[in-house]
Structure 1
């Protein structure tokens, strides 16, 4: 799959599953994103798509690599709604 296309899909899924924080930016935890059935069907490699989006400054989260279970409560914040 095309990375740009997957990042656009990721933006849509973060907006669907997340909620605005005090700063007005939409955020969702990694666990919610990872365990969502729709996301599981869309993304072959969710962690890789997250890393690509982070490199392009579209999202932010603490750390380099997110792992299921260990990082379920890590918030992923949407910085830009367009790619």
Structure 2
């Protein structure tokens, strides 16, 4: 997959695993994404895909680099326009 395809797939996984907010955005924690078996099989480098999506302003989260364990509770928000 190229980066655009991975980001599109990431958006679908966030919608599947997260919950919809009143503003139309979706929220999920990094730990939920990281520990999901389906995501583990899809994304070779989940953190890299998250960073690419953040750079394109498709989603937001605090910090730059997310690490398993340390950042499991960091909320990732998929913007409603994505």
Distance 1:81 1:13 in 2: 16
Residue-pair matches, total: 82
Distance 2:80 2:22 in 1: 16
Match for residue 57 of structure 2?
57
Which 5+ residue runs of structure 2 have no aligned equivalent?
none
Question: SS in structure 2 opposite 1:15?
Answer: helix
State the superposition RMSD in angstroms: 1.3
Structure 1 unaligned regions, length at least 5: none
After TM superposition, what 4+ stretches of structure 1 lie above 6 angstroms from structure 2?
none
Aligned residue number for residue 17 of structure 1: 17
Q: Deviations over 1:5-36 (max 9, x none)?
A: 00000000000000023544210000000000
Q: Distance in 1 between matches of 2:35 and 2:52?
A: 20
Residue of structure 1 equivalent to 2:44? 44
**2:71 aligned with 1:71:** yes
Measure, in 1, the Cα distance between the counterparts of 2:81 and 2:34: 20
TM-score (norm 2): 0.93
Equivalent-residue separation in structure 2 for 1:81 and 1:48 (angstroms): 21
